[in-house]
Amino acid sequence: MGAEMDITFYQSQTYPNPPCWNMVADVYTRELSKGVEDFRTVTDSIRGIAQAFSIALQKSDNGFMQIREPVDMCIVLMGKSHKLGVHHCGVYLDGNVLHALPNGVVYQDMASIRDEYLLIEYWSKA
């Protein structure tokens, strides 16, 4: 799967707020022909977005389950602190995470992701 996916295509895209979740939805639709459960937030706050991520993955019928170790194309939820909780996401591929920040899409290695984010969860379609 990793060799087939054109990372540069996603790096050339811009995504509406929250860019990380919209990029994940785009990747899942284009690469796997699978959608992720829609969610709506009434706020742009980090906590509101984090709550929406949790609802979209944990409490929906879309077949996601949390896994211990990452596998290609799993969703990576990230959080910088326990107080904020998970508030960012990306897609794991070949030991890296493709994720969208407000200033663009990056393909970042797991070692630097672990340095930057205290909380990391992996979620995969069953």
Query: How far is it, in rounded angstroms, from Cα 84 to Cα 92?
Result: 22
pLDDT digits (tens, 9 = 90+) for 47-84: 565 566 665 665 555 678 889 999 999 999 999 988 87
Domains of the chain listed by start with CATH number: 7-125 (3.90.1720)
First to last CA, the chain: 17
- pLDDT of residue 2 exceeding 70: no
Does the global pTM surpass 0.85?
A: no
pLDDT digits (tens, 9 = 90+) for 84-99: 788 889 999 999 999 9
12 vs 22, more confident: 12
